[in-house]
Amino acid sequence: MIGAKTRRALFFGWILFDACGATTVATLAATPIVPETYEFSLATSNWQFQFSCASASDTVQCTPGPQAVRLVSDPGGPWSFSFPPYPAPANYLVTPGVSLAGHRSLSMTFILTLNAPDWFWRFDANNVCNIGSPPFVHLYFQRNADDLRGTPGATEYYRWWSRAYIDFNSSGRFVLTVPLSTGNWVDVLGHDNATNVPMFLSAEQDVAYIGMTFGGGCFNGHGVAVTNGSAIFTLISLVLD
């Protein structure tokens, strides 16, 4: 499980205790490496799906096989995609990252257009949380050199998901804004970023990919498909403040 879907009170620093019992406060870097407000390019060439491969034998980047999902030009925004028919999933959608150090929040604006979709997100037999509920989208970033194992160890702290999310209950325009602070992000095993502040800060400063993931039930990024109807996701912006 990627963690319980709860919201926490915001706190913009972390209290650490050294070996002598003294306390210090660890905060995000004071000066961002990228501009104070940074809007990610929405050129389709800068975005890619991960794990959304037409064949289960393909790699994460769907090489050499085809991707199950494609971005297309959209009059309502820079681009859109249709959630694929089962059994192909839409999983991770990412763009090259920049340092998040010194920034306060990550924000995404998107449009969801639903035409009576019957959702499918239970790609894992052990995904037994909230059966029948709609899928959702989380913000996400990944540190360089991640081995994608998702097991305890150093790289457990290389992928991070926002606790906040948006359910796909209805059509509309939505904004998801998440502070880059403790209590608002969880790692691949569902641990809050407050449990290992140094590793979270290191990941923020060494981002390989950033974007969003689609999932349902217990898992934030294990994929979403439709069995009937249709659903279109149109990204309007992804912005660091």
The secondary structure of 167-225 as a DSSP string is: E-SS-EEEEEEEESSBTSEEETTS-BGGGGHHHHHHHHTSEEEEEEEEEBTTBSSS-BE
d(CA 206, CA 160): 12
Structural domain boundaries of the chain? Answer: 14-240
H helix intervals, the chain: 197-204
Percent with pLDDT over 90 in the chain: 68
Tokens of 86: 């089962």
- Give dist(CA 125, CA 224) in Å, integer: 15
pLDDT of 209 > 60? The answer is yes
Tell me the pLDDT tens digit for each residue of 43-76: 998 999 988 776 666 667 676 667 778 899 876 6
Question: What CATH number labels 14-240?
Answer: 2.60.120.260
Higher-confidence position of 14 and 109? 109
Total number of residues shown for the chain: 241
Q: Are strands 92-96 and 48-50 parallel, antiparallel or unpaired?
A: antiparallel
DSSP H or E stretch at residue 225: strand 225-240
Query: What residues contact 201, with CB distance under 8 A and at least 6 apart?
Result: 26, 28, 29, 101
Exposure b/e, 14-39, CB count within 10 A at least 16 = b: beeeeeeeeeeeeebeeebeeeeebe
Tell me the mean pLDDT in the region 93-111: 96
pTM over 0.75: yes
pLDDT for 15: 33
- In the beta sheet, which residues pair with residue 216? 219
